């Protein structure tokens, strides 16, 4: 068999595999979402890019004690997540409290004007949603949006032994993370 005749056939057979490897999300989406110049009281804790997973993750300490984590990425879907944890959030926080915290924290996030994360969209979706059970689906047009409460995956602090003669305190409620997610198929 002539190798020159077999080469075009091999290229035709491998072409679908090459196109399946391409990512539909524009690489410009994977840029920092928070403003370079942060307002007083805000502190950027970390920025992590995962090239293999096609994501960027940023963690920001918010002035009122909350911590906001934003993750953006995807290939066949454009996705982003906003995670909020902080005072009063446990795994038993109820839906109305979660909505109140999200409405309070989201407008304060110092997002870049061209950021992929749309806090206004999430606030509008929270306003329009009728939340009765968790996780709750939020109205976001062609995208799928959700409000959920997840346990914090950080390692819990070890309990201290009580001082001599003092009663042992009951364990604290596990920390909860309010999560708003957005998923748009491309």
CA distances from 89 to 9, 13, 17, 86, 142 (A): 59, 53, 45, 6, 30
- Residue 30 within any structural domain of the chain: yes
d(CA 157, CA 39): 30
- Residue 3 within any structural domain of the chain: no
- Residue 120 within any structural domain of the chain: yes
pLDDT in tens, 106-157: 999 999 999 999 999 999 999 999 998 999 999 999 999 999 999 988 655 5
pLDDT in tens, 13-48: 333 333 445 788 888 888 999 999 999 999 999 999
Domain hosting 102: range is: 24-152+174-185
Task: Tell me the percentage of the chain whose pLDDT exceeds 90.
Answer: 62
- Residue 73 within any structural domain of the chain: yes
pLDDT of residue 17: 37
Number of domains in the chain: 1
CA distances from 144 to 91, 139, 183, 184 (A): 23, 7, 5, 6
pLDDT in tens, 85-105: 998 899 888 989 999 999 999
- Residue 108 within any structural domain of the chain: yes
- Residue 1 within any structural domain of the chain: no
The DSSP bridge partners found for residue 48 are 57
- Residue 122 within any structural domain of the chain: yes
Cβ neighbours for 100, distance < 8 A, ≥ 6 positions apart: none
- Residue 12 within any structural domain of the chain: no
Residue with tokens 């035709």: 12
């Amino acid at each position: 068999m002539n190798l020159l005749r077999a080469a075009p056939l091999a290229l035709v057979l491998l072409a679908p595999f090459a196109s399946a490897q391409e990512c539909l999300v524009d690489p410009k989406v994977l840029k920092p979402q928070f403003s370079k110049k942060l307002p007083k009281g805000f502190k950027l804790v970390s920025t992590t890019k995962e090239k293999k997973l096609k994501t960027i993750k940023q963690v920001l300490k918010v002035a009122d004690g909350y911590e906001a984590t934003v993750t953006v990425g995807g290939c066949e879907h454009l996705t982003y997540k906003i995670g909020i944890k902080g005072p009063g959030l446990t795994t038993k926080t109820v839906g109305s409290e979660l909505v109140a915290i999200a409405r309070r924290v989201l407008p304060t996030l110092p997002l870049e004007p061209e950021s992929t994360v749309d806090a206004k969209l999430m606030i509008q979706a929270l306003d329009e949603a009728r939340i009765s059970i968790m996780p709750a689906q939020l109205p976001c047009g062609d995208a799928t949006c959700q409000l959920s409460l997840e346990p914090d995956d950080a390692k819990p602090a070890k309990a201290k032994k009580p001082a001599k003669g003092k009663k042992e305190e009951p364990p604290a409620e596990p920390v909860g993370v309010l999560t708003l997610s957005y998923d748009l198929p491309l």
